[in-house]
Amino acid sequence: MSRFWSPLVHSLTPYVAGEQPTISGLVKLNTNENPYGTSPRALAAISEATDDRLRLYPDPTARRLREVIAVRHDLDPDQVFAGNGSDEVLAHTFHALLNHEEPLLFPDITYSFYSTYCHLYGINFRRIPLDQNMQVRIEDYLQPSGAIILPNPNAPTGIARPLSDIETLIRQHPDQVVAIDEAYVDFSGESAIPLVKEHPNLLVIQTFSKSRGLAGLRVGFAVGQRPLIEALERVKDSFNSYPLDRLALAGAVASWEDEDWFQHHRDLIVASRERLAIALRALGFGVLQSSANFLFARHPSRSGADLAAQLRDKAILVRHFPAERIEDYLRISIGTDVECDKLLAAFKQILT
């Protein structure tokens, strides 16, 4: 606490990011990074962009990136907004579109950045409990609200709702923005992007961090009809005109265009996920049905905090959230098969 702080700063509850230690030999399964990294074409494009042009400001509108994203989804580039990681796109979304008199609704168990943004921007919000199976129930959102935000698949459960449920939600709330955070959609979920054309209240947010292996480059985007995107642009241009630097723009475009690399490595991760889920169940874990690049699992006779600490002693990092309803779960990012096998071997030792 400091007397120099603006009053708001005293009441913030900052997001706590997963650790990024630099210990060598660590099996790092705690922040849902992609174990295969990014497309070599993206790396080449970043090298190629690394020259004297760095003295110039980058394109403030990220035009080329918005174009390639728009073409893939048969949209207009003006229906795409790009930002410095989807966290920044989300922050602008909360600021520009989700702050109304009635509360913003989101699940009680979800991405913990949402309540952080609400505190930052003074947004009235209400958490809607997941059901006993840790599922989002669309019917529970039928109540007065200013807007709705949901990750699909949800985090940290990994559970996806079918697109028909998302469409029902959008139809039931024609006067509210429904924002769908699709950070993990590429790992077997169904994207709501095709619904954007028909629904003026839908905003879909995606990231290059997880399925495209570019968490370090910080690139995310949103798609929606023009009035929603214009609101994001107004906030962005009141905050930072150049959120994406030259290297990020070059790398993101090349990564987006390397569809073969993307699909091949995404499929490897999905296959490893299914294999790891089976092996964890054989060790007695309850594992939620994941459509993401992580598993959410608990053991019936061990506390989540103890298991996470014992894995840490063996140089394996997973994420543990000390929050109500989920304190005995571990969120385990899908690594390579070698990393998954190290995790399984460690669990076998710990559990015997």
Ligand X SMILES: *Cc1c(COP(=O)(O)O)cnc(C)c1O
Interface residue list for ligand X (CB under 6 A) = 85-87, 111, 151, 155, 181, 183, 207, 209, 215, 220
Minimum distance, C-beta of residue 219 to ligand X, in the bound complex (Å): 7
Nearer to ligand X, 221 or 261 (CB): 221
Which residues are within 8 A (CB) of 53 and not within 5 positions of it... i.e. 6 or more apart?
246
Nearer to ligand X, 112 or 168 (CB): 112
Minimum distance, C-beta of residue 167 to ligand X, in the bound complex (Å): 20
Nearer to ligand X, 254 or 292 (CB): 292
Minimum distance, C-beta of residue 283 to ligand X, in the bound complex (Å): 26
The pairing of strands 202-207 and 177-181 is: parallel
The full 3-state SS of 27-41, as one line of letters, equals: EEECCCCCCCCCCHH
Determine how many CB atoms are found less than 10 A away from the CB of residue 238.
11
Nearer to ligand X, 251 or 346 (CB): 251
Nearer to ligand X, 13 or 143 (CB): 13
Minimum distance, C-beta of residue 300 to ligand X, in the bound complex (Å): 27
Q: What are phi and psi of 165, to 5 degrees?
A: -70, -40
Minimum distance, C-beta of residue 122 to ligand X, in the bound complex (Å): 21
The pairing of strands 286-287 and 27-29 is: unpaired
Give dist(CA 318, CA 19) in Å, integer.
10
Which residues are within 8 A (CB) of 6 and not within 5 positions of it... i.e. 6 or more apart?
none
For 345, the token pair is 């071997």
For 166, the token pair is 């998302």
Nearer to ligand X, 215 or 254 (CB): 215
Minimum distance, C-beta of residue 32 to ligand X, in the bound complex (Å): 6
Structural contact between residues 80 and 233, judged by C-beta atoms closer than 8 angstroms: no
* Cα separations in angstroms, 148 against 76, 80, 171, 200, 233: 25, 20, 12, 14, 20
Helix residue ranges per DSSP H, 77-213: 85-97, 113-121, 163-172
Nearer to ligand X, 169 or 346 (CB): 169
Minimum distance, C-beta of residue 15 to ligand X, in the bound complex (Å): 10
For 232, the token pair is 């994001």
